[in-house]
Structure 1
Amino acid sequence: MQDKTQERLDMEKKSDASFFGQPRGLSTLFFTEMWERFSYYGMRAILLYYMYFSVSKGGLGFSETTAASIMAIYGSLVYLSSVVGGYVSDRLWGSRRTVFYGGVLIMAGHIILALPMGAAALFGSIALIILGTGLLKPNVSEMVGGLYTEEDTRRDSGFTIFVFGINLGSFVAPLLVGYLGMNVNFHLGFSLAAIGMAFGLLQYYLGGKKHLPSGSLYPSDPLEPEDAKKLSIRIVIGIIVFGLIILVLQMMGSLNINSFITLLSILGVLTPIVYFIIILSSKKITKTERSRVVAYIPLFIAAAVFWAIAEQGSVVLALFAENQTNNHFLGLNIPAAWYQSLNPLFIMLYTPIFTILWVKLGKRQPSSPTKFSTGMFFAGASYLLMVLPVMMFGAHSKVSPLWLVGSWAIIEIAEMLISPVGLSVTTKLAPKAFESQMMSMWFLANAAGQAVNSQIVRFFTPENEIAYFTIIGLVAIAAGIVLALMVKPVKRLMEGVN
Structure 2
Amino acid sequence: MKTKERKYPLGFWMCAGTEIFERLAYYLGRSLILIFVTTAVVNGGLGLSDSVGAKLQANLTAFAYLGPVLGGVIVDRFIGARYTTPIGMVLVGIGYYMGALAKGPGMIYAMIVCVSLGLGLFRTAPLIGRIIGDNSKMDSAFSIRYTLVNVGAFIGTFLVGILYKDVFAKDGVLGFAPCFKLAALAMFVGAVWFMIATRFMGDVGKKPFKMEKTEEELEEEAKQKALDKELKKMPMTTIEKKRIGAIVLVSAFSIVFWIFWYLAYLPVYYHWAENMNWVVAGYEVPATWFDAANSIFCVILGPITAKLWTVLAARPQGDMSLFRKTGLGIGILGLGYVFFAVIEITRGNGKPSVLLLIIFAFLLTLGEMFFSPLGHSFISKYSPSRYLGVMISVWGIATFIAGKSYGNVYEFAFGGNFKFSSACIVIAIVAFVSALILFALDKRLSGLVEKEQ
Identify the TM-score tier after normalising by the shorter chain.
Answer: 0.7 to 0.9
1:18 corresponds in structure 2 to: 7
Aligned-partner Cα distance in 2 for 1:285–1:220: 25
Structure 2: 5+ residue stretches without partners: 170-174, 213-231
2:283 corresponds in structure 1 to: 332
User: Which of residues 424, 433, 436 is equivalent to 1:478?
Assistant: 433
Following superposition of structure 1 onto structure 2, how do residues 184-223 of structure 1 map, counting pairs within 5 Å? Answer: 184=169, 185-211=175-201, 214=204, 217-220=207-210
Quickly say closer, same or farther: Cα 1:123–1:293, change in 2 above 3 A. Answer: same
Structure 1: 5+ residue stretches without partners: 1-15, 223-281
Alignment-mate amino acid for residue 176 of structure 2: F
TM-score where L is the length of structure 1: 0.74
Aligned-partner Cα distance in 1 for 2:403–2:361: 18
User: Which of residues 127, 131, 138 is equivalent to 2:117?
Assistant: 131
Alignment-mate amino acid for residue 494 of structure 1: V
| Cα deviation, residue 406, structure 1 | 0.9
User: Which of residues 24, 48, 60 is equivalent to 1:74?
Assistant: 60
Task: For residues 115-136 of structure 1, give each alpha carbon's deviation from its aligned partner in whole angstroms, at most 9, with x where no partner exists.
Answer: 3554443222121012222333
Following superposition of structure 1 onto structure 2, how do residues 283-298 of structure 1 map, counting pairs within 5 Å? Answer: 287=237, 291-298=242-249
Range with bigger deviation, 119-128 or 199-208: 199-208
Task: For residues 453-474 of structure 1, give each alpha carbon's deviation from its aligned partner in whole angstroms, at most 9, with x where no partner exists.
Answer: 1211113147521121111122
| Cα deviation, residue 26, structure 1 | 4.8
Q: Does 1:178 align with 2:196?
A: no
The share of aligned pairs that are identical, in percent, is 26
Aligned-partner Cα distance in 1 for 2:385–2:90: 28
Aligned-partner Cα distance in 1 for 2:270–2:368: 22
Task: For residues 311-353 of structure 1, give each alpha carbon's deviation from its aligned partner in whole angstroms, at most 9, with x where no partner exists.
Answer: 1244232213422221112322112222221211111121232
Following superposition of structure 1 onto structure 2, how do residues 306-325 of structure 1 map, counting pairs within 5 Å? Answer: 306-325=257-276
The answer as to whether partners of 1:157 and 1:355 remain within 8 angstroms in 2 is: no
Alignment-mate amino acid for residue 354 of structure 1: T
User: Which of residues 101, 115, 127 is equivalent to 1:115?
Assistant: 101
Aligned-partner Cα distance in 2 for 1:167–1:296: 27
| Cα deviation, residue 413, structure 1 | 0.8
1:54 corresponds in structure 2 to: 40
User: Which of residues 161, 173, 179 is equivalent to 2:144?
Assistant: 161
The answer as to whether partners of 1:181 and 1:190 remain within 8 angstroms in 2 is: no
User: Which of residues 403, 407, 423 is equivalent to 2:356?
Assistant: 403
Quickly say closer, same or farther: Cα 1:193–1:142, change in 2 above 3 A. Answer: same
Quickly say closer, same or farther: Cα 1:56–1:436, change in 2 above 3 A. Answer: farther
1:465 corresponds in structure 2 to: 420
| Cα deviation, residue 209, structure 1 | 4.7
Q: Any idea what SS the aligned residue of 2:101 has?
A: coil
Alignment-mate amino acid for residue 380 of structure 1: G
| Cα deviation, residue 111, structure 1 | 1.9
Task: For residues 170-194 of structure 1, give each alpha carbon's deviation from its aligned partner in whole angstroms, at most 9, with x where no partner exists.
Answer: 1110121222223321011111111
Quickly say closer, same or farther: Cα 1:285–1:313, change in 2 above 3 A. Answer: farther
Following superposition of structure 1 onto structure 2, how do residues 347-496 of structure 1 map, counting pairs within 5 Å? Answer: 347-359=298-310, 364-394=318-348, 397-429=350-382, 432=385, 438-458=391-411, 459-461=413-415, 464-495=419-450
Quickly say closer, same or farther: Cα 1:157–1:285, change in 2 above 3 A. Answer: farther
Quickly say closer, same or farther: Cα 1:474–1:49, change in 2 above 3 A. Answer: same
Alignment-mate amino acid for residue 121 of structure 1: M
The answer as to whether partners of 2:102 and 2:108 remain within 8 angstroms in 1 is: no
The answer as to whether partners of 2:248 and 2:394 remain within 8 angstroms in 1 is: no
User: Which of residues 326, 345, 367 is equivalent to 2:296?
Assistant: 345
Quickly say closer, same or farther: Cα 1:129–1:389, change in 2 above 3 A. Answer: same
The answer as to whether partners of 1:72 and 1:454 remain within 8 angstroms in 2 is: yes
Aligned-partner Cα distance in 2 for 1:165–1:283: 45
| Cα deviation, residue 95, structure 1 | 4.2
The answer as to whether partners of 2:62 and 2:400 remain within 8 angstroms in 1 is: yes
Quickly say closer, same or farther: Cα 1:94–1:315, change in 2 above 3 A. Answer: farther
Alignment-mate amino acid for residue 176 of structure 1: L
The answer as to whether partners of 1:145 and 1:427 remain within 8 angstroms in 2 is: no
Range with bigger deviation, 291-300 or 430-439: 430-439
User: Which of residues 73, 76, 79 is equivalent to 1:90?
Assistant: 76
| Cα deviation, residue 401, structure 1 | 1.1
1:237 corresponds in structure 2 to: none
Task: For residues 206-225 of structure 1, give each alpha carbon's deviation from its aligned partner in whole angstroms, at most 9, with x where no partner exists.
Answer: 33453477367314399xxx
Aligned-partner Cα distance in 2 for 1:326–1:167: 27
Task: For residues 136-171 of structure 1, give each alpha carbon's deviation from its aligned partner in whole angstroms, at most 9, with x where no partner exists.
Answer: 3xx444455566789x56555444333222211111
Range with bigger deviation, 423-432 or 456-465: 423-432
Alignment-mate amino acid for residue 366 of structure 1: M
The answer as to whether partners of 1:325 and 1:398 remain within 8 angstroms in 2 is: yes
Alignment-mate amino acid for residue 364 of structure 2: I
The answer as to whether partners of 1:105 and 1:129 remain within 8 angstroms in 2 is: yes
Aligned-partner Cα distance in 1 for 2:294–2:351: 22
Quickly say closer, same or farther: Cα 1:17–1:168, change in 2 above 3 A. Answer: same
The answer as to whether partners of 1:82 and 1:444 remain within 8 angstroms in 2 is: no
Aligned-partner Cα distance in 1 for 2:373–2:363: 17
| Cα deviation, residue 106, structure 1 | 0.8
Aligned-partner Cα distance in 2 for 1:212–1:380: 47
How many residues are matched?
416
Range with bigger deviation, 191-200 or 45-54: 191-200
Alignment-mate amino acid for residue 18 of structure 1: K
Alignment-mate amino acid for residue 331 of structure 1: G
> What root-mean-square deviation, in Å, do the aligned CA atoms of Structure 1 and Structure 2 show?
3.2
Aligned-partner Cα distance in 2 for 1:430–1:96: 28
Q: Any idea what SS the aligned residue of 1:214 has?
A: coil
The answer as to whether partners of 1:373 and 1:480 remain within 8 angstroms in 2 is: yes
Aligned-partner Cα distance in 1 for 2:185–2:384: 37
Aligned-partner Cα distance in 2 for 1:393–1:220: 59
The answer as to whether partners of 1:87 and 1:436 remain within 8 angstroms in 2 is: no
